[in-house]
A = this chain, B = another copy of it.
Amino acid sequence: MDPQQQFLDVLDRDEAERRFHAVIQAAPLEAEWVGLDQALGRVLADDVASPVDVPSFDRSNFDGYAVRAADTYGASEQQPRRLTLTKETIATAVVPQIAVKPGCASTIATGAMVPKGADAILMVEHAEMREGELFLHRPITPGFGIAFAGTDIARGETVLWRGQSLTSRETGVAAAVGITRVSVRRRPRIAIISTGDEIIEPGHTMRPGFVYDSNARILADALRELGAEPVVVGIVSDDHEHLRACVQQGLASYDMVLLSGGTSKGAGDISYRVVQELTDPGIVVHGVALKPGKPICLAAHHGKPVVILPGFPTSAIFTFHEFVAPVISQLAGHSHVPREKVSARMAFKINSEIGRTEYLSVHLVKSSDADTAANVSADKELIAYPMGKGSGSVTTFSHADGFVTIDRYVEQVEAGAVVSVQLLG
């Protein structure tokens, strides 16, 4: 190993991203049809237009009486208006048979179809029944208590959009317009290979100088959280031929190959040596001005991305979210989803190295009460406390509430400065 040879071409973060995206194919994957009961979490490949009006008929919003609004004008406590009930009691799921004539009203259930002639619903609690006649004490306006056909969703209206991630709210809307299948993007399938002579699988006995492979687990589950399908190849250590075969197999079968560990140029760093053999174009970035995450290696082969993440867990997961997650989102067909951020005040002054983008893991703590409207409680102000541990730590990322990105041209963040914290977990 000649440590002097490492990272000769450390790039700026944005330049690294540009070079990587210039050589990868990250268009959305092909579409496939799935049943709506399998659609949760998938990404829509096409807009969905409603084939029906919702509601599909003029619908009563209340239990009460279908009336002509004009018949209620002038009604008051002193001078109640009197209406005659028709013989019809309109339940749900039936088409009313009797039109409501002037001076008449039909009993109607919530969700039932408004009969011809009627243009408003008198709520049951606003009327009084005496000897088969209805007395009302206040006027109502035309349209009151009626959901008119198509007012919630009009036939032909776009109700869901290409690139939307389907939560229960979206699958509910699809069901409401009567749809049973949706066209979604195939999930990206990503090969995960762990390297490093010192890496052993969880469950095996710890030996001096070794560490458990946590990157395979965290990357696989982080990929699942992004809607991708991880394929955990396992640990490949000191066997160059075997690692080459695994990378080739990954390129042939999956949408991306993700290695972790062995990013150095040293002789012991098998990942780098194997990925270095790739062509068209092979490695385009090796070393980025990031803290943590400097040794990341970005490559491609005929448009398919190959990434070597640093072996240290915190470095691996930050560079994953910085360089890999956006590509997964593109492959998955997601429309751009801004990451969730909150504002906080920095607890104390932070010095950062000029020329290097720094990700500062922080704890968030609520400060004293902020102003609130009476009885409507509001959030407290947040204070960001930087965490102490380095990139080798397993716990920094898992215990942090979020992180602050300190721009490469910023040397100091003052105590009390308002910063934007990207939330984790």
Binding site for B on A (CB under 8 A): 1, 3-4, 6, 36-37, 40, 52, 54-57, 59, 61, 63-64, 89, 91-95, 107, 109-113, 124, 129, 147, 152-153, 159, 167-180, 196-198, 202-204, 206, 208-222, 224-225, 232, 237, 264, 266, 268, 311-313, 317, 341-343, 346, 370-379, 389-395, 397-398, 404-407, 409-410, 413-414, 417-420, 424-425
Q: B424–A169 contact, CB under 8 A? A: yes
- Please list 13 pairs of residues, one from A and one from B, whose beta carbons are closer than 8 Å in the complex, sorted by A's number: A1-B63, A91-B197, A93-B198, A93-B237, A111-B312, A113-B209, A169-B397, A171-B218, A172-B397, A174-B202, A370-B418, A371-B418, A373-B418
Looking at the assembled complex, report how far the CB atom of A56 sits from the nearest CB atom of chain B, in whole angstroms.
Answer: 5
- In the complex the two chains form, is B375's CB within 8 Å of A64's CB? no
Q: What residues of B have a CB within 8 angstroms of the CB of A407 in the complex?
A: 375-376
Asked if B268 and A91 make an inter-chain contact with CB atoms under 8 angstroms apart, the answer reads: yes
- Of B4, B6, B36, B95, which one neighbours A217 at CB under 8 angstroms? B36
- Closest residue of chain B to A405, judged by CB? B376
B414, A197: Cβ atoms under 8 Å?
no
A61 touches B392 (CB 8 A): yes
B317 touches A268 (CB 8 A): no
How many copies of this chain? 2
Across-interface contacts of A40 in B (CB, < 8 A): 221, 224-225
Cβ-closest 5 pairs across A and B = A172-B218, A373-B417, A168-B221, A176-B214, A175-B217
Judge whether A170 and B376 touch: CB under 8 Å.
no
Whether the Cβ atoms of A93 and B197 lie closer than 8 Å is yes
Is the pair A176, B6 in contact by a Cβ cutoff of 8 Å?
Answer: no
Closest approach, in angstroms, between the C-beta of A374 and any C-beta of chain B? Answer: 7
Chain B proximity of A156: nearest CB distance (Å): 14
Residues of B within 8 A of A169 (CB): 218, 397-398, 424-425
- With A93-B198, A152-B389, A425-B167 already in contact, the answer to whether A343 and B378 are too (CB < 8 A) is yes
A379–B56 contact, CB under 8 A? no
User: Contacts A264-B110, A376-B419 given: A92-B173 contact, CB under 8 Å?
Assistant: no
Q: Which of B219, B313, B413 is within 8 Å of A376, CB to CB?
A: B413
CB <8 Å contact, B3 and A64: yes
Closest residue of chain B to A5, judged by CB?
B124
For A267, the closest partner residue in chain B by CB is B91
Question: Which B residue's beta carbon lies closest to that of A205?
Answer: B178
Shortest Cβ gap from A338 to chain B (Å):
11
Further contacts, 10 of them, CB under 8 A, given A6-B124, A178-B212: A56-B210, A93-B209, A110-B312, A113-B208, A152-B392, A172-B218, A172-B394, A172-B397, A173-B398, A372-B420
Given A370-B418, A373-B418, are A390 and B61 neighbors across the interface (CB < 8 Å)? yes
Chain B residues positioned under 8 Å from A208 (CB to CB): 56-57, 95, 113
Of B37, B55, B206, B424, the contact of A211 (CB 8 Å cutoff)? B55
A376 lies within 8 A of B225 (CB): no
Which residues in B have their C-beta under 8 angstroms from that of A178?
202-204, 206, 212
Query: Which residues of B sit under 8 angstroms from A264, Cβ to Cβ?
Result: 63, 109-110
Q: Which residues of B contact A210 (CB under 8 A)?
A: 56, 93
